[in-house]
Amino acid sequence: SKSLFYLVWSLIIVQFGFSAVSLLLPVYAVNDRQIDKAIWAFLTAAAPVTTIIFSILIGKFVDKINRKIPMLLAYSLFGLAIWFFVQGSLPLIFASLVLVGAAQVMMNTSFGALLADLTPRMERGKVNAFMNFVSFIFMALGNFIGGFLYEHISHQLPFYITITAIIPSFMITLMLVKEPEKREE
């Protein structure tokens, strides 16, 4: 279906953007924001702890109410989180990691449920294989481009590219991804 096509590309675009900075987060935090390495190690627990706290609640919301709303909210939270991270002091960087954790659980839960609803049962393996294949290519490109831009042009530019990549993903999901009338059992 067209919605499935748009859903997959929406995720691939945002994964490209996030890959442009994912490996740079500790480098930027320690070198550019002068956060002590030991403090950074503690800060990194914020995202997974947030994910654990919100996972059941988000799962119930996705199952009972809506699949797209958490995904759209996740895109917004990712953008805000990256902005906080690149501009922020220690408290803002901590807040950004909490937002990333919340966004990750929303994104993963809503995307997985929507993907199952939109993919015919007999084609799920093929769709997942294609999605993973293309995602890994775009994630590798994101890592390469982000690292190159960080090293040779601007330390902040990869973060702004990440924020920019969120916009088309948000718009594609909002306007082109339709939840099916009947959810997969």
The DSSP-derived string for 11-75 is HHHHHHHHHHHHTTHHHIIIIIS---HHHHHHHTTHHHHHHHHHHHHHHHHHHHT-SHHHHHHHH
The lowest-confidence range among 118-122, 143-147, 151-155 is 118-122
Non-local (6+) Cβ contacts of 149 within 8 A are: 20, 157, 158, 161
pLDDT at 180 over 90: no
Look at residue 183 and tell me whether its pLDDT is greater than 70: no
Q: Is residue 185 over pLDDT 70?
A: no
Chain mean pLDDT for the chain: 91
Percent of the chain with pLDDT over 90: 64
Q: Is the pLDDT of residue 149 over 90?
A: yes
Confidence of residue 116 (pLDDT cuts 50, 70, 90): confident
Taking only the tens place, the pLDDT of each residue in 104-113 is 999 999 998 8
pLDDT digits (tens, 9 = 90+) for 65-100: 888 899 999 999 999 999 999 988 899 999 999 999
Domains and their CATH numbers in the chain? 2-176 (1.20.1250.20)
pLDDT at 181: 76
Give pLDDT tens digits for 28-77: 999 999 999 999 999 989 989 988 998 898 888 888 888 889 999 999 99
